[in-house]
Structures are given as C-alpha cells and as structure tokens.
Amino acid sequence: MRRNTFQIDYKNCSVRIYRKTEAFCDVSSLGINKNECKDGAGIGGSKSLHSRHKGVHYSTPASDAITRKQKTVAITKALQCDPVDVTSLRQLAISRGGLITDELRYLAWPKLVNVNIYNIPPKPKASVLEAHRDYNQVVLDVNRSLKRFPPGMKDDQRTVLQKQLVDMIMRVLVRHKELHYYQGYHDICVSFLLVMNDDIAFYIMDKLSTNHLRDFMDSSMDRTKCMLNYLYPIIGKANPVLKEFLDRSETGTIFCLPWLITWYGHVLNDFRHTVRLYDFFLACHPLMPIYLAAAIVLYRQDEVLQADCDMPSVHSLLSKIPPDLPFEDLISRAGDLYVQYPPKQLANEARLQYKHSTTISSYMNFEETTQSQRPDTILKQLRSLNISEPSVDGTESESSRLVKVSVYVLATAVSAAAFAVLNTAADWGWF
C-alpha cells in the first residue's frame, strides 16, 4: 500500500531533523536482545516487562543508550517476529525518541492498535457518507484546518488531502452509528493522514474511536468531563501546594480540554512533537494524555504559583503551551506519574467509577487482542491466498481452520527472507 505522495518533501524534512539525535533509549529498560528474537516470540525480556504495568517502563538513562541504527533494527525485529512482539514495540515507542521516523511509524502504528492493513473494510459510496448527520459539520471543520497541513503545500495537493480527511472521518461515523463527531476529532485524524495513507489512517481511527477516544464520542460531554477530573488528583499527589493554589483560583480543567480531545494535535505547532506524542499514546493506557497534561502543569509550577490566584490569570497562562517544552522529559514524567498513581487508585477522587467509562473499561480487552498479531509478511501472503484471519471472539469459520496450517507453511517460507531483511537493516548506511 502506498502513502500519500504529497507528504514526501514534508516528511523528509522531518526525518532529517530526527537524525540530529543519536541516543534514544536504554537497552536494559527495554530488555532488548539486539541479535535475535527469543524463540520467535519477540525481543528478549518480554515476561519481565509485562510485570511492570503491561510492559510500560520509562527510565532512559543516557549512559546506556542505544543508537538510532540499533533502535531501528530492534523495531524491525519486533515487527517481524511471529506473533508480532507488541510488548517490545510498545517499549520502543515509549522510550526516548519513540519510533524515530515516519517510515517506521507507517509500519508500527497499525500493530500498536491491532489493525490488519491487508483486510480494511471497503469505502462506502459518496452518497452514503454525505447523508450522515454530521457530514456538513465535518466539512466545515476540515476547511478550517489549513494550519494542520505542511507549510508550503500546493493548494491542489491540500485539497486532495482535505477530501481524504473528510472521507476517512465519515467512514468511521457511518460504520459506527453510535458515535458522535466532535470538534477536534479531525485534528487527530489529520495527524494520522499525514503519516499513513487514507485507508490505513481510517482503519486506525476506526479502532481508536471505539477504544481510546470512545468517551469523547458520546452525544454529551459528561464522560469527557469525568476523564478531565483525573487531572487534579494526579497533581495533588505529586504537589499538594500546587493543587491547593489551583483549587483556590477556581481554574478548573477546561484549559486542557483541547489537549485531551485532540491528543495535542490542535495545540502543537511542530509536527515532530505531535507524532512523538502519538507514539507514546498509542503504546499506553487511554488516560495517558491526562497524565501528560499533569506533567506539563507540574513542569510549569513556578510560573503558575507566581501568577495572580484567579481563574482568568491562571487559565490564560496554562491554556497556552510553550513551544520549547522538553517533551521527552515530560513523557518520562507522565509515565512515572502513571506508575505511581494508576487510574484505579484515583478513580474515587476523580468522581468516576471505573466501569462507567467505556474508554477505560474496554482497554483490557483492547490490550489482549493486540498480543496475537501476525507480521505483515504473513498477512500479505494470507490475503493473496484469500484466507481470513481468525476472529477475535474465538469463533472459527471453515476458512479460518486453514489458517493454522497455512500460517505454519508461510512462517517457514518467510523466515529466511525475514532474516535477510534484518541483516540488511543492520547494515543500513544512515549514519
């Protein structure tokens, strides 16, 4: 599958900027065996990583850092393992530098959300998309989203991407009639569209809309507000003085609403920061954007405490995200906050019963289904043989019964090719 050809110059610029940094993550924290996948099941250390909040580990000391080249090889190996080593892939997405390039994100993002890019639902007719109740609002919002596209992009190219953006949003809404569009949803969609092609971007958003973003897509904002209620308990645990100041100022949580519902896509001007955060969010619990918001507020605590203790002053200060925030450090801090103060521990204080949030309650099942994915080499072969993957609910069709034998044969056939690919990756002359 091909990506949007209009991204090439913009994306290459992004890649060149990423190459300035050599050190990205800590080998010991990832548990990486840089030479081979253990027993074909993934990069070493998966079992120990699962014991730390489903594989989430955030320490990245620079003294034991691996190079960009080594991390590229590690990501490639995780993708080639059968089943895909999602635990290590998450670790690599979380650790310093994330997934490094848009080329690797193109391969890894679908695996992080369990999307089979070789079995994407077909696009409905235009008349079906245009008949949806939210179609006109989507078109208005997309037409106002000019700043989200690469600067210098030609008008005709941007017009094509805007049409693809409208279509991918409507495909999700038409497919899930219980979902309601909200302003800001298109900001997340365009971020995926600028990295993936329109079909894969749609399918990723389709999965996220029924999982990570589900509470935002109710007919009301009640459950979105409940998710925002986690912010102050997190801040209070880390810095009671700051929380007391915020409470006295009656600032509330509306200042970070755009951060949460757009995954920061609407408020960040540098696309490199946006995709880096998406690496992080796709690999983590759905509440991680709130933990990041807490990390940002805590990072700016001196500014906040020096401001006038009233809602207009504090809201004005916090609603504007500085362009020079140290996002790698903030990602690490957000992860530490999550480990120290997990959502279940804060649920009562946040006035949210855990089971009442569809986004949170469905995450366990979402995480389990990501652990048994086939690598793309096998998925592609299965498609060519017109064999479907087994359904996630455990039922097995007649064609699915052929999968076990077919996958065994295909895995044997591609193992030599995968080995050659990985050896080639180790020799890439990117430095």
205 and 148 share one domain: yes
Non-local CB neighbours of 345 within 8 Å, separated by 6+ positions: none
pLDDT along the chain (431 residues), means of 10: 39 29 34 38 29 38 63 94 91 94 96 92 95 96 87 88 96 96 95 95 96 92 89 96 96 94 92 96 95 97 96 94 94 96 83 54 66 70 64 40 36 36 36 33
77 and 134 share one domain: no
**DSSP codes of every residue in 161-192:** HHHHHHHHHHHHHHH-TT----TTHHHHHHHH
In a domain, 430, yes or no: no
272 and 353 share one domain: yes
358 and 324 share one domain: yes
* Last residue within a domain, chosen from 331, 362, 393: 362
Given a contact cutoff of 8 angstroms between Cβ atoms, the answer to whether 375 and 82 are in contact is yes
* Domain CATH number, residue 195: 1.10.8.1310
Residue 396 confidence (pLDDT):
41
Residue 248 confidence (pLDDT):
95
183 and 278 share one domain: no
293 and 237 share one domain: yes
In a domain, 108, yes or no: no
Nearest to 271 by CA among 96, 3, 10, 71: 10
In a domain, 7, yes or no: no
Non-local CB neighbours of 420 within 8 Å, separated by 6+ positions: none
In a domain, 387, yes or no: yes
Domain that holds residue 80: 22-96
Residue with tokens 């998309």: 129
* Domain CATH number, residue 286: 1.10.472.80
257 and 356 share one domain: yes
181 and 267 share one domain: no
279 and 392 share one domain: no
266 and 357 share one domain: yes
Task: List C-alpha distances in Å: 221 to 38, 178, 229, 264.
Answer: 46, 15, 12, 18
**Alpha carbons within 13 A on the beta-carbon side of 320:** 9
In a domain, 8, yes or no: no
Q: How many domains does the chain have?
A: 4
pTM above 0.85, yes or no: no
Burial class (CB in 10 A: 0-12, 13-18, 19+), 151: exposed
Nearest to 159 by CA among 267, 4, 273: 4
144 and 180 share one domain: yes
In a domain, 422, yes or no: no
* Last residue within a domain, chosen from 332, 362, 392: 362
In a domain, 101, yes or no: no
Tokens encoding 68: 């960009």
356 and 387 share one domain: no
Tell me which DSSP letter residue 120 carries. Answer: P
Tell me which DSSP letter residue 34 carries. Answer: S
In a domain, 1, yes or no: no
Residue 388 confidence (pLDDT):
58
Q: If phi over 0 gives left and psi between -120 and 50 gives alpha, with beta otherwise, what is residue 257? A: alpha
